[in-house]
Amino acid sequence: MLVEAGHFALALALGLSLIQFVVPLWGARSNDPVLMAVAPAAALAVLACLAFAFLALTVAYVTSDFSVINVVENSHSTKPMIYKISGVWGNHEGSMLLWVLILALFGAVVALSRNTVPVKLQANTLAVQGLVTIAFLLFILMTSNPFTRIMPAPSEGQDLNPLLQDPGLAIHPPLLYIGYVGFSISFAFACAALIDGRIDAVWARIVRPWTLGAWVFLTLGIAMGSYWAYYELGWGGWWFWDPVENASLMPWLAGTALLHSTVVMEKRDALKVWTILLAILTFSLSLLGTFLVRSGVLTSVHSFAVDPERGVFILGILIVFIGGSLALFAWRAPMLKQGGLFAPVSREGALVLNNLLLATACATVFVGTLYPLALEVLTGDKISVGAPFFNFTFLPLVIPLLFLVPIGQTLAWKRGNLLGTVQRLYAVFGIALLVTLALVAFRDGGPVAAPLGIGLGAYLVLGALNEIVTRSWSRGTPLATVWRKAAGLPRSTWGTVIAHAGVGVTVIGIAATAWDAEGLGTLKAGDSMSAGPYQARLERVVPRQEANYREDVALMRIFRNGQELGTVETMKRLYVTRGMPTTEAGIMTVGLSQVYVSIGEVHADGTIGMRIYHKPLVLLIWLGAVVMAAGGGLSLTDRRLRIGAPTRARTAPPASAVPAE
Amino acid sequence: MVIWIILLAMTAAAVMVVLWPLSRHSAVRGQADPNVQFYRDQIAEIERDRERGALLPAEAEAAKAEAGRRLLRATGLEDTASAAVGEPALRRRRAVSTLALSVVPILAIAVYGAYGSPHIFDRPVANAPQPQAQTQDLATAVSQIETHLAQHPQDGRGWEVLAPVYIRMGRVDDAVKAYESALRILGDDADRLSNYGEALVLARNGLISSDAQAAFEKAVKLDAGAPKARFYLAQAAEQDGQVEKAKAAYTDLLSISPADAPWVSLVREQLTRLGAPVPPAAAQAPQVGAADIQRMVSGLAERLESQGGSPEEWARLMRSYAVLGQRDKAEAAAQRARQALAQDDAGLKTIEAMARELKLTDAAQ
């Protein structure tokens, strides 16, 4: 009965979303506050319905109700409880339900922010939000219904894809979805502003926390996914330029650009039209990501079931929303009032350059991801676009961008002084150069990319911290005053500094991968192999039986220059229900570096194939992302109003001052 | 019935949520223009920052001038003439009420009607016939047999034992492979071929493929009386649209079957469904013991419980229990029948009639 009530709640949510779409829009057109007041009520009701539906499905999973096909196909009564729960979204249907649930959750938050959002903007935003909900509810009900029943009920389920039986599944999709869906709110606000024909600093102030929040979660979601792939897939890579990864990277790049352009808009009332366009593009890229992952166009662990009908449906949603919003943009954008003026060399100018580079980098990823697909559709040729393409196109765009970060952060609003800024960064340049030279000197030989990259990372970290130093320290000030001043800086400043430092940390981690060492061998018990300064000795191989899988466990003893560090286990598992083998890597963390062993073929004569990797500073890649997200979170807690304080011009403003757009 | 009451209550609640703000037109908030408020707050904050020393006086002046310019631009922009009163507003509100009262229930019920299955109850494994621990044991046992077979793949008996277990666990494809191995090692045999064919049919969701048909034909060739194979061959004829051939095949099967064979009722059902004359049941064989009857009755009960069935079958179950003197079970069966047939008025009548006939205590008068 609960399952059916959940199914019905889903259908009710569809009806309520239709009300949420039509009535507030009408109310806003006719300026009727009563009609507009329906929007928050409907949004909350939609949330209640979807939360109930999700709860019903979760209960079906937890109690292993095998009269629900979705549970049969993705669960098993002997599965550990955590995977029963995370299995709810470890499949196509359930994950789409989570998607709309988060959408409704955010809609409800907008509905509850009564006194900060102008009534009309709120009504229009919730209407757009309602339309998105309608589209995805129809998609779920018609092509991917998680509540379809089966009679007679099988006595046992088919188990969850073993690659997904991991704590990562409990965290990665919700984080990523909060990110994706958070951008839908920015999108809805952008459309609402276009419908109303009004956009200003107030709009930017309302949208910024949403964008920032979405960005924080997307950052964490991507980092989590990357770490998961690193330890689960068993070949030690952390980013594969796989189309599914790119599908999440594109909204992240566009979202990062959006984040920076909303700052300009809030503080300086400039870059309005561009910000709106970015908000639309970011969500469009989120939708595109959903399409690529969910339609079966790409085959990967993410595309749970290949079904052309679903692909066509999502393509339809894609065309309606991207086409519709861009048409709205083309029609309304010329009517928006232009914003403030600024000189090319200024904080705004630097942020425009940041946006240009990010947008171009995003376009590069877009081409690299979609070109092979388009080519295959048109000519049937299969080409593979991998790391070399992105190294040649993406990196040349990103490296100048990274160089720009500390400079842009130091420039003044409205009109800046490039020479003065560079002078303030002398110390930073110097230390970063020293770091690079020291690394080249101490680690003679080895690739030159590592020291250069680490130098760049150090420059980013120091450049970010320099902001705090220059704003609180001057020659002769007592240390206590410096501390007080630094602590008194706005949290958004600290947030920026920490997030930018996080970028530097990630860059250091990535650069250090150039030092990776790898060993490959066929071992029998007692044999050793080595990678870099580490050796691994195979102790023995033992079989083990668990509830829903059995495995061969290889016990490896790890030594560093002859001194024992401990034992790691690497396993080859067979999940019996699906008859699917997986490999579990054994990882030993030494400081920020890791030793990674992964079992290969188990031969008939008792020998086993084994890979070992030494990955120096590899943890910094993900720690950096966590630091970035922490910076974003800190900035999110700063509820101050922001206005860019321009320095008074000593001379008349330069004649080359350009309009914002 | 209960389910519909719940769904109705949910619908009513959803409609109320929409109607509620429409009825509160007097309480609509008069929101101060948030833009003007925003710049006022901003100027106040610049002032505070200057006092704290976070902004230099010159910077604060410049920022204040900027915010002031925007404040000037923002004032007077808002067209505050709200349209909450008057005849058009009233008409709009009525239209929206009608919309909420019609669209929400109609859409929800239409969509649910198309995709929902209100007659199926929740069947969590915890309440299902076999307890969890047994499932666990089964899984362990299966994995032990699998390990054994991985080392001794030529053990045909092992494959044959494993195959039906796979089917019970819903791993039909594995069952097909297991039967294939058993056939390869142990050779053809009517039962084995019939079971193999049945697994193939299950794997295709009831469709009898040419592989399955070949297996059944081979089984009949080995043993003309193989009931399972003959039954599926009759089904195959029906699926091919050869209804007459199917009827003949079912009638043949019935004529060679002992009257108490477990498949007889199933075959008779098929004949009834096809509209063919059903041969009268042969006289009950005298040697059938009470235990056999008990087994047949519980078999029927299990099938009705898991797959549902016609009102006549439910009535038969009730009567059987009553005849066996298990009146409490007969009453329970009547209850279950009423739940299962809640949508079927004629069926309910049949059940009630039987309940009255058997004088069950809770029969609806």
Q: What is the 3-state secondary structure (H, E, C) of chain B?
A: CHHHHHHHHHHHHHHHHHHHHHHCHHHCCCCCCHHHHHHHHHHHHHHHHHHHCCCCHHHHHHHHHHHHHHHHHHCCCCCCCCCCCCHHHHHHHHHHHHHHHHHHHHHHHHHHHHHCCCCCCCCECCCCCCCHHHHHHHHHHHHHHHHHHHHCCCCHHHHHHHHHHHHHCCCHHHHHHHHHHHHHHHCCCHHHHHHHHHHHHHHCCCCCCHHHHHHHHHHHHHCCCCHHHHHHHHHHHHHCCCHHHHHHHHHHHHHHCCCCCCCHHHHHHHHHHHCCCCCCCCCCCCCCCHHHHHHHHHHHHHHHHHHCCCHHHHHHHHHHHHHCCCHHHHHHHHHHHHHHCCCCHHHHHHHHHHHHHCCCCCCCC
For residue B285, give how far its alpha carbon lies from the nearest alpha carbon of chain A (Å): 32
Q: Structure tokens of A512?
A: 């250090």
Comparison of pLDDT for A116 and A22, the residue scoring more: A22
Do residues A495 and A586 both lie within one domain? no
Domain membership flag for residue A349: yes
Q: Which of A8-17, A333-342, B332-341 has the lowest mean pLDDT?
A: A333-342
Q: What pLDDT, on a 0 to 100 scale, did the predictor assign at position A658?
A: 41
Token look-up 């004649």 returns A655
Question: Phi and psi (nearest 5°) for B305?
Answer: -65, -45
Percent of chain A whose pLDDT exceeds 70:
93
Q: Which of A30, A153, A576 sits opposite B92 (nearest CB)?
A: A30
Break chain B into its structural domains and give their ranges.
288-365
Closest-CA residue to B261 (of B313, B223, B299): B299
- What's the whole-number average pLDDT of chain B? 78
Q: What pLDDT, on a 0 to 100 scale, did the predictor assign at position A301?
A: 56
Do residues A497 and A603 both lie within one domain? no
Mutate to test the interface with B, among A2, A3, A4, A196 (most CBs of B within 10 A): A4
Interface list for A 642-661 with B (CB within 8 A): 643-648
The answer to whether residues A86 and A169 touch, using CB atoms and an 8 Å cutoff, is yes
Q: What pLDDT, on a 0 to 100 scale, did the predictor assign at position B329?
A: 81
Radius of gyration of chain B (CA): 36
Answer yes or no: is pLDDT of A229 > 80: yes
Other CB atoms within a 10 A radius of the CB of residue B94 amount to: 11
Do residues A341 and A283 both lie within one domain? yes
For residue B252, give how far its alpha carbon lies from the nearest alpha carbon of chain A (Å): 29
Task: Mark yes or no for CB contact A152/B306 under 8 Å.
Answer: yes
Q: What pLDDT, on a 0 to 100 scale, did the predictor assign at position A372?
A: 84
Per-residue pLDDT of B52-68, as tens digits, reads 666 677 777 877 887 78
Q: Which chain B residues are Cβ-neighbours of A474 within 8 angstroms?
A: none
Q: Structure tokens of A642?
A: 């922001």
Last residue of a domain, one of A345, A380, A415: A380
The answer to whether residues A29 and B84 touch, using CB atoms and an 8 Å cutoff, is no
Q: Which of A258-272, A415-429, A640-654, B105-119 has the lowest mean pLDDT?
A: A640-654
Q: Which of A55-69, B113-127, B172-186, B208-222 has the lowest mean pLDDT?
A: B113-127
Comparison of pLDDT for A39 and A581, the residue scoring more: A39
For residue B288, give how far its alpha carbon lies from the nearest alpha carbon of chain A (Å): 30
Q: What pLDDT, on a 0 to 100 scale, did the predictor assign at position B290?
A: 59
Q: What pLDDT, on a 0 to 100 scale, did the predictor assign at position A558?
A: 92
Token look-up 């080409």 returns A383
Q: What is the mean pLDDT of residues B161-181?
A: 84
- Any B CB within 8 A of A12 CB: yes
For residue A548, give how far its alpha carbon lies from the nearest alpha carbon of chain B (Å): 8
CA distance A12 to B166: 39
- What's the whole-number average pLDDT of chain A? 86
Q: What pLDDT, on a 0 to 100 scale, did the predictor assign at position B154?
A: 82
For residue B237, give how far its alpha carbon lies from the nearest alpha carbon of chain A (Å): 25
Cα dihedral B298, B304, B305, B307, rounded to 10, equals: 130
Answer yes or no: is pLDDT of A357 > 90: yes
Binning pLDDT at 50, 70 and 90, where does residue B361 land?
low
Q: What pLDDT, on a 0 to 100 scale, did the predictor assign at position A298?
A: 64
Task: Mark yes or no for CB contact A11/B111 under 8 Å.
Answer: yes
Last residue of a domain, one of A358, A380, A402: A380
Here the ipTM equals 0.81
What is the DSSP-derived secondary structure letter of residue A346?
Answer: S
Length of chain A: 661
Do residues A110 and A200 both lie within one domain? yes
Last residue of a domain, one of A380, A406, A430: A380
Per-residue pLDDT of A462-490, as tens digits, reads 999 988 888 888 777 788 888 888 887 88
| Angle value at C-alpha A356, between A355 and A362, nearest 5 degrees | 85
Task: Mark yes or no for CB contact B10/A8 under 8 Å.
Answer: yes
Binning pLDDT at 50, 70 and 90, where does residue B8 land?
very high
Percent of chain A whose pLDDT exceeds 90:
40
Task: Mark yes or no for CB contact B66/A644 under 8 Å.
Answer: yes
- Structural domain including A402 reads 391-513+623-638
Q: What pLDDT, on a 0 to 100 scale, did the predictor assign at position B84?
A: 63
Question: Phi and psi (nearest 5°) for A559?
Answer: -125, 150
- Any B CB within 8 A of A488 CB: yes
Do residues A140 and A22 both lie within one domain? yes
Per-residue pLDDT of A615-628, as tens digits, reads 989 999 999 999 99
Total number of domains in chain A: 3
Binning pLDDT at 50, 70 and 90, where does residue A657 land?
very low
CA distance A345 to A588: 48
Do residues A443 and A562 both lie within one domain? no
Full 3-state SS string of A418-449: HHHHHHHCHHHHHHHHHHHHHHHHHCCCCCCH
Q: What pLDDT, on a 0 to 100 scale, did the predictor assign at position A381?
A: 79
Percent of chain B whose pLDDT exceeds 70:
83
Comparison of pLDDT for A300 and B100, the residue scoring more: B100
Q: Which of A121-125, A139-143, A339-343 has the lowest mean pLDDT?
A: A339-343
Per-residue pLDDT of A179-210, as tens digits, reads 998 999 999 999 999 998 888 778 888 898 89
Task: Mark yes or no for CB contact B107/A118 under 8 Å.
Answer: no
Per-residue pLDDT of B260-271, as tens digits, reads 777 787 888 888
Per 3-state DSSP, chain A is made up of helix, strand and coil in percentages (nearest 5) of 65, 15, 25
DSSP A594-642: EEEEEEEEE-TTS-EEEEEEEETTTHHHHHHHHHHHHHHHHHHT-----
For residue A41, give how far its alpha carbon lies from the nearest alpha carbon of chain B (Å): 6
Mutate to test the interface with A, among B31, B39, B132, B138 (most CBs of A within 10 A): B31
With H, G, I as helix, E, B as strand and everything else as coil, classify residue A582: strand
Binning pLDDT at 50, 70 and 90, where does residue B2 land?
confident
Q: Which chain A residues are Cβ-neighbours of B84 within 8 angstroms?
A: 32-34
Do residues A593 and A449 both lie within one domain? no
Q: What pLDDT, on a 0 to 100 scale, did the predictor assign at position B287?
A: 46
Mutate to test the interface with A, among B56, B120, B140, B168 (most CBs of A within 10 A): B120
Answer yes or no: is pLDDT of B285 > 50: no
Token look-up 């309440």 returns B127
Answer yes or no: is pLDDT of A216 > 70: yes
Do residues A396 and A296 both lie within one domain? no
Ranked by mean pLDDT, the top range of A115-119, B56-60, B216-220, B278-282 is B216-220
Domain membership flag for residue A296: yes
CA distance A224 to A174: 11
Task: Mark yes or no for CB contact A151/B128 under 8 Å.
Answer: no
Q: Which of A115, A488, A643 sits opposite B42 (nearest CB)?
A: A643
Task: Mark yes or no for CB contact B99/A22 under 8 Å.
Answer: yes
Answer yes or no: is pLDDT of B281 > 60: no
Comparison of pLDDT for B168 and B364, the residue scoring more: B168
- Any B CB within 8 A of A148 CB: yes
Other CB atoms within a 10 A radius of the CB of residue A271 amount to: 26
Q: What pLDDT, on a 0 to 100 scale, did the predictor assign at position B77?
A: 56
Domain membership flag for residue A653: no
What's at A641, amino acid-wise? L
- Any B CB within 8 A of A335 CB: no
Please name the helix (run of DSSP H) or strand (run of DSSP E) that holds residue A563, with its range, or none: strand A563-575
Q: What pLDDT, on a 0 to 100 scale, did the predictor assign at position A659?
A: 41
Q: Which chain B residues are Cβ-neighbours of A114 within 8 angstroms?
A: 29
Mutate to test the interface with A, among B20, B90, B98, B104 (most CBs of A within 10 A): B104
Q: What pLDDT, on a 0 to 100 scale, did the predictor assign at position B286?
A: 42
Q: Which of A41, A117, A200 sits opposite B20 (nearest CB)?
A: A41
Answer yes or no: is pLDDT of A296 > 70: no
CA distance A385 to A381: 13
Domain membership flag for residue A647: no
Mutate to test the interface with A, among B4, B18, B130 (most CBs of A within 10 A): B18
Per-residue pLDDT of A400-409, as tens digits, reads 999 999 998 8
Do residues A410 and A335 both lie within one domain? no
Q: What pLDDT, on a 0 to 100 scale, did the predictor assign at position A626?
A: 96
Ranked by mean pLDDT, the top range of A167-181, A466-480, B146-160 is A167-181
Q: Structure tokens of A566?
A: 């401990």
For residue B112, give how far its alpha carbon lies from the nearest alpha carbon of chain A (Å): 6
For residue A23, give how far its alpha carbon lies from the nearest alpha carbon of chain B (Å): 7
Q: Give the dihedral sign, CA B281/B286/B288/B294.
A: positive
CA distance B217 to B226: 10
Comparison of pLDDT for B183 and B78, the residue scoring more: B183
Task: Mark yes or no for CB contact A8/B108 under 8 Å.
Answer: yes
Which residue in chain B has the smallest CA separation from A75? B125
The answer to whether residues B199 and B163 touch, using CB atoms and an 8 Å cutoff, is yes
Q: Which of B108, B126, B307 sits opposite A152 (nearest CB)?
A: B307
Comparison of pLDDT for A324 and B279, the residue scoring more: A324
Do residues A167 and A244 both lie within one domain? yes
